[in-house]
Structure formats: C-alpha cells, structure tokens
Structure 1
Amino acid sequence: MNFSPQSPSPCPPLADEDWPAEIADMKAGFAGALNVYRTMARHPALLKAWAPLRQHIVKDSALGDVRSELVILRSAHRIRSDYEWAHHVSRARALGIADARIQAMRNSPDGEDGLIASAVDALFDKGYLAPEIEGAVAEAVGQQAVFDLIATVGFYSILGFILRTYETPIDPAVAGEFQKRPL
C-alpha cells in the first residue's frame, strides 16, 4: 500500500489558503475534507458539477451502504487505486464489514459478494453487463440498484483516474488508521 506519492504530485491537493473563491461554500463540506476533492478543486466547475452525482452515489444509492462499499472496494482494486482502497477499507470497517469480507473483494468472493464482484469485473473487462449478469444482479438487489452499481463503478473509475494521474496522497487520518490496523 502506497501511503505517499513516489514523486511530488504535479497537481497536489489545495491548501485552505489556495481554495478557489468560486467554490468557497464547498470547502466546509465534503470537498474540503478529503485530498481527492482538494485536488479536484483545481477545476472548480468540475467539482461543482460533481457534487450532485456524489450525493447520489455516496449517500442515496439504491445499493445501500454495505453493497455500495463492496462495489467501491472491487472498483478500487480493479483500477489499482491505493487511495480509494484505503479510504473505503476505513468506511467498510465503520459499517461493520469484517476484514475477511473486505479482503475477499480483492479475490473471488462467494454468494452475493461474488455476484457484485463479477458485475464490477464485467464493467471493467467488457464495458457492459451481459444479460445473465444484469438479470442476476437485478434479481438480487433490484433494477435501480443495477443502475447505481454501474454508476458507482463509473464514478469511482473517474476518481481513480484522477488520483493515480496526480498521485494524490492518502489523507493522513486514513493512512494512520490503516498503518495501525492493516488489512
């Protein structure tokens, strides 16, 4: 797990004193809380547009909290984002998801977790859900949750691209938590 960039980021997270005036109202909320959004704050229009989709994906998804975290963990693993993996291990633990279940999302989990992993893998590998996977996921979690699974994979893929491109450092609190309690 890489807790700090190998080289200085070409686009480091913004410090409070450099926060753009046009998104000043966002600094006290989610955007100012995490390095990923402090990096995105370098493009204020994108961060403003991002906020409503983030609200839905992170807070209002038909997947529910636990399934959402499993989708995010598998996506983080597939896109090789240490930042997202560490942050979402922390969030999964806070939801009461056992470390063994979290770790399984890097491998071949069983049951519904395996179905979620196969759906995420299909999106990464083929760019769509084949009818048999879509049908199985819809039967297990509902059609709206299938849409949210697809949107969550897309959302976290974009974040992963940004994080990896700009070598965004894992937030200190999460890095410290992970170092005290590794997976």
Structure 2
Amino acid sequence: MADTAFPPITDTDWPEAAAELRDGFAGRLNVYRTMAHHPALLRAWAPLRGHVVIDNVLGKQFSEVVILRTGVNLGSDYEWNHHVSRGRACGMSDARIASIKGALAGMAPEDAILASAVDELFTAKRLSPATQEGLVNLVGREGMFDVLATVGFYSTLGYILNSCGTPLDDDVAAELAARPLNAT
C-alpha cells in the first residue's frame, strides 16, 4: 500500500510553485503547510481566505462562533483548538467558547442563531427561510452569505485536516496545555 501521509511541509521541502506564500499566511499554520502538497490549490485558496478570514462582515467574534461550531460539526480537533486560541485572542471568554460546543439553549441568543445556522447547513444542507431571516436580522444580507462561505471554507479545511491527520500547531498546543479551556 502506498504511503498516504501528508505531513505539514517543512521550509526545506516547500514547493517552488508556492514559494511566495511560505513567508505569509501559508507558512504560519500546519493546515496550510499540509495544503502545500497541492501548490495550485494553496495559491487559489489565498484570495478566498483573504475575504473569509479577514474581510468578512461578521466581525471577529461572530466569525469565531461560526468557525468553532463548524469544527464541532466536523469533529475537527485542530479547528476547535486553534479557534479556542483565536476566540480568546479576540476577547471571547472561555465560558462563551465552551458553550459553542454544547446545546443551543446554553448559548447567548446571538451565538445560538449563528450555531443553529451552522448545524442546519450540516444536517439539511441548506438554510431554511426562517434561519435566513434570523441571520439577516443579526448580521445583514452580506453577513448571511459570509456565514455560508465561512462554513464552506472551514469545512474544506476540516476535511483536509481530518483526512491528513494534521497536527495542532506547536504554539496553540503549548497555549492550551498551559491554559486549558475553562468553561466557568
């Protein structure tokens, strides 16, 4: 059987076809170092990443709620743990972050609207008219589309992470070892 392991690519083995991305976002995270096994995909990924991660209209905290709940639905430990760190960095409390893993009833109302939309995308493969209305009321029309795009974007990353067994980045692992998620 052929070796199917796709570990994060080191600087030494970084593909020339994506050389300009190594010192930017792609070289900073194991998920993109794994994606570098397909340089053309990584290059195509960069512009969409710019919108979904940086330029979306959701704001940092709502974006993190959507990403965390996507990680929960995918069973992606990498996404969950990485975004625990990112959620903390943008001012979310541990209790709020932990609530995103649980039942909708245990979340703040705005978080529950977002998490419910994520869940609906995974279960029904679409947003119902009622869910669309709730999202538009919360984040606007463009925000609803950013929720859809964020779930799709991070689902693709989650499939890569889960399929390739990508290890958590050392800095995030060290942070969570020193300061585990505290739900209270």
| TM surpasses 0.5 | yes
Q: Which amino acid aligns with 1:34?
A: L
**Among candidates 118, 121, 125, match of residue 119 of structure 2:** 121
User: Which amino acid in 1 is paired with 2:100?
Assistant: M
1:144 aligns with 142
Number of aligned pairs? 176
In 2, distance between residues paired with 1:65 and 1:96?
A: 9
Q: How far apart are the structure 2 equivalents of 1:92 and 1:126?
A: 27
TM-score with structure 1 setting the length: 0.94
Deviation at 1:43, TM superposition (A): 0.2
Q: Which amino acid aligns with 1:45?
A: A
Q: Are residue 38 (structure 1) and residue 33 (structure 2) matched?
A: yes
State the Cα distance separating 1:110 from its structure 2 match: 3.1
Runs of 4+ in 1 over 2 A off after TM superposition: none
- 1:174 Cα deviation after fit: 0.3
Q: 1:83 aligns with which of 69, 73, 78?
A: 78
- What is aligned with 1:159? 157
Between the aligned partners of 1:110 and 1:27, the Cα distance in structure 2 is: 39
Give the superposition deviation at 1:22: 1.3
**What is the one-letter code of the residue matched to 1:32?**
G
What is the distance in 1 between the residues matched to 2:137 and 2:156? 28
State the superposition RMSD in angstroms.
Answer: 1.1
For 1:9 and 1:171, how far apart are their aligned partners in 2?
Answer: 21
Can you give the 5+ residue segments of structure 2 that lack an aligned partner in the other structure?
none
Instruction: State how far apart, in whole Å, the 2-side matches of 1:168 and 1:156 are.
Output: 14
Tell me the residue number matched to 2:23: 28
Whether contact under 8 Å (1:120, 1:153) holds in the other structure is yes
Conserved 8 A contact 1:9-1:167 = no
CA-to-aligned-CA distance 1:33-92 (integer Å, 9 cap, x gap):
010000000100000000000000000001111100010000001101000111100000
TM-score normalised by L of structure 2: 0.94
Structure 1 unaligned blocks of 5 or more: 1-7
